[in-house]
Amino acid sequence: MKSVLIDNSNCTLYKTFKDLYTTSFPIFEQRTNEQQKNAFEKENYYLISYLDEDRFVGFISYWDFNTYVYIEHFAVNTEIRGKGYGSKILELFKNSVNKTVILEIDPIKDEISKARLRFYIKNGFYENIYNHHHPVYREGFKPHELIVMTTERPLSVKEYLEFKSNLDEVVMGCYQYLTTQRLILRPWTESDAESLYKYAKDPAIGPIAGWPPHTSVENSKDVIRNILSAPETYAVVLKETNEPIGSVGIMFGDSVHSADMKEGDAEIGYWIGVPYWGQGLIPEAVNRLLVRCFDELDTKRVWCGYYDGNTKSRRVMDKCGFKYHHTEEGKISPLGDERTEHFTLLTKDDWNKK
């Protein structure tokens, strides 16, 4: 069996691929012609057809990232299914990429989906436990639930978030948005620098949390590039004005954090501009992040810390159900001074009791 690259819609095998593609996937899982054209223009997108003695037996479309490859679509010729070609194609593919392979399958609801899960487990894939939804390809549909499967081992939380971010932004060209009654939580962009500077320059905001006031719009732009671009970091945008007025984020043990975290733990951080203090906006945002942690990322415990004297931050924790856990003295803040830091904790069990 050999593989042949299809790199545009004029290739000889494109129509054969397209015929199998449209019959193998429901319409809401199919790229439009324009989306397929856009994919061909991306340097890390590949569409590979597989031939056995010049007979078309199937295809894999995939995206090549630094530490893994993501199979977006995989199908075997309907005329020869059940003859082992699926396993042969996967084995050939895995050997050719020599990276972790990620793909998605339908939720387990019937005998067909059960058989599909068994097929991938037999071929060296592991089921991941994340509450995962694939973004929509076409208007009129909602994100659809899928199970993430990976070779080698299940993904860590950080690895899953990296995959989901690349899926949303690179593969699908969309971005992760979280909403509440009054807020939109979305990734920061460099165009937000003026709004960020407007609120982050206030000395009442940063120093009590351990970071310096911003000194210019350019400084704020650098912070967006180098700090606020981290996964699960969100601009707090007021729906009424569409302006970023603060920031919230989820941190994990292998990223910047303050708490002494174990596997399955996360930490939440937040701030909001002075004009919006006392309006309950940050508790509203933090509660949405807790939904993301416990219901979508299967986090077991969430930490929240505050420096001695930051009573406003502590009140947010109280409102969101965090309980005092311990105090650490002699901690060096990002500003270089020595401080006392108090830590609160919310477990998934306590969250489910709310």
Q: What is the pLDDT of residues 210-242, one digit of tens each?
A: 999 999 999 999 999 999 988 899 999 999 999
236: Cβ–Cβ under 8 A, 6 or more apart, which residues? 183, 185, 244, 245, 246, 247, 248, 270, 272, 281, 282, 285
CA 250, CA 157: separation in Å to the nearest integer?
11
CATH of 178-353, one of 3.10.129.10, 3.40.50.2000, 3.20.20.70, 3.40.630.30: 3.40.630.30
The per-residue pLDDT for 353 is 86
Quick one: DSSP state of residue 80? G
Q: What amino acid is encoded at 253 in this protein?
A: G
The per-residue pLDDT for 253 is 76
The per-residue pLDDT for 259 is 76
The per-residue pLDDT for 269 is 96
Architecture of domain 2-171: 3-Layer(aba) Sandwich (3.40)
The per-residue pLDDT for 260 is 80
More confident residue, 139 or 219: 219
Taking the CA atoms of residue 242, residue 244, residue 247 and residue 250 in that order, the dihedral angle to the nearest 10 degrees is: 40
90, with CB counted inside 10 A (0-12, 13-18, 19+), is buried
Query: Two tokens at 20?
Result: 């199998």
The per-residue pLDDT for 177 is 83
pLDDT band at 255 (very low <50, low <70, confident <90, very high): low
Residue 10 has pLDDT above 80, yes or no: yes
Residue 72 has pLDDT above 80, yes or no: yes
* pTM to 2 decimal places: 0.69
CA 105, CA 107: separation in Å to the nearest integer?
7
What's the gap between Cα 17 and its chain centre? Answer: 30
106, with CB counted inside 10 A (0-12, 13-18, 19+), is middle
Domain boundaries, the chain: 2-171, 178-353
E strands, the chain, in order: 2-5, 45-52, 55-64, 68-76, 100-105, 125-127, 132-134, 144-151, 178-179, 183-186, 233-238, 243-251, 265-272, 301-307, 323-332, 338-347
The per-residue pLDDT for 254 is 61
Sign of CA dihedral 129, 131, 133, 134: negative
The per-residue pLDDT for 257 is 64
pLDDT band at 252 (very low <50, low <70, confident <90, very high): confident
The per-residue pLDDT for 141 is 84
The per-residue pLDDT for 27 is 94
Average pLDDT, the chain: 93
Average pLDDT over residues 270-296: 95
Number of neighbouring beta carbons within 10 Å of residue 134: 19
- Tell me whether domains 2-171 and 178-353 share a fold: yes
Q: What amino acid is encoded at 214 in this protein?
A: H
What's the gap between Cα 174 and its chain centre? Answer: 11
Average pLDDT over residues 300-313: 95
Q: What amino acid is encoded at 150 in this protein?
A: T
Count of residues in the chain: 354
Residue 315 has pLDDT above 80, yes or no: yes
Per-residue pLDDT tens digits for 87-114: 999 999 999 999 999 999 999 999 999 9
SS3 state of residue 353: helix
The per-residue pLDDT for 256 is 58
pLDDT band at 4 (very low <50, low <70, confident <90, very high): very high
The per-residue pLDDT for 261 is 84
Average pLDDT over residues 276-287: 97
Integer CA distances (angstroms), 322 to 162, 168, 268, 299, 305, in order: 27, 31, 11, 15, 10
